[in-house]
């Protein structure tokens, strides 16, 4: 007869897997996910189901648990990204500025910003948050407007990839 762990043990395993898996991909989301009982509980549940479905003929129990937990974490992260504000690149109307300021999860936005280079962050913040024109940004950095535009467009593509909308 198969012996199952206590709920506290499954939760501890879930937290360890969340910490190790998410910190490499989305470091800013780690603490948010660990503080969310629903997320930890969902991952712990996937580990319990893995134990229940596990067959010794298919390999290692711990590897199977980890694989099932990581699969669940990927789905949770996809849901987090789907529920965040959208980026409107068609109009330069301050739409991005409004969404980012109203978005209440600074950790999530910080995590997205980690994907950008320092110049991309600077140009995005100056253009969309501070409202500076690309021409002004270009003149203070001694580069062309085209260079600023390319950098901002590259940053937007990276952010869209993070949102899984490209």
Specify the CATH number for the domain of residue 107: 1.10.10.10
Say whether both 72 and 119 belong to one domain.
no
**Phi/psi at 29 (5° precision):** -90, -15
Whether 89 is covered by a domain: the verdict is: no
pLDDT at 91: 41
Closest to 29 in 3D by CA, of 69, 102, 81? 81
pLDDT at 2: 61
64 by DSSP, 3-state: which? Answer: helix
Whether 114 is covered by a domain: the verdict is: yes
- The whole domain housing 156 covers 95-163
This prediction has a pTM of 0.51
Query: How far apart are alpha carbons 6 and 10 in whole angstroms?
Result: 6
Residue 46 token pair = 């996937």
Say whether both 101 and 156 belong to one domain.
yes
Say whether both 69 and 12 belong to one domain.
yes
Mean pLDDT by 10 residues, the chain (166 residues): 80 93 81 90 91 74 84 84 52 40 50 77 84 92 93 85 57
pLDDT at 38: 93
């Amino acid at each position: 007869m198969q012996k199952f762990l206590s709920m506290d043990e499954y939760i501890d395993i879930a937290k360890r897997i969340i910490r190790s898996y998410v910190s490499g991909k989305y470091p800013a989301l780690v603490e948010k996910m660990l503080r969310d009982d629903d997320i930890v509980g969902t991952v712990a549940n996937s580990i319990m189901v893995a134990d229940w479905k596990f067959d010794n003929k298919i390999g290692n129990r711990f590897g199977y648990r980890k694989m099932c937990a990581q699969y669940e974490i990927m789905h949770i992260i996809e849901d987090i990204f789907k529920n965040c504000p959208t980026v409107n690149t068609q109009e330069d109307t301050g739409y991005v500025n409004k969404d980012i300021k109203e978005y209440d999860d600074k950790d999530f936005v910080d995590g997205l910003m980690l994907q950008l280079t320092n110049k991309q962050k600077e140009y995005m913040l100056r253009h969309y948050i501070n409202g500076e024109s690309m021409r002004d940004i270009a003149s203070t950095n001694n580069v062309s407007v085209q260079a600023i535009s390319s950098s901002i467009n590259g940053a937007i593509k990276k952010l869209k990839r993070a949102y899984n909308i490209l």
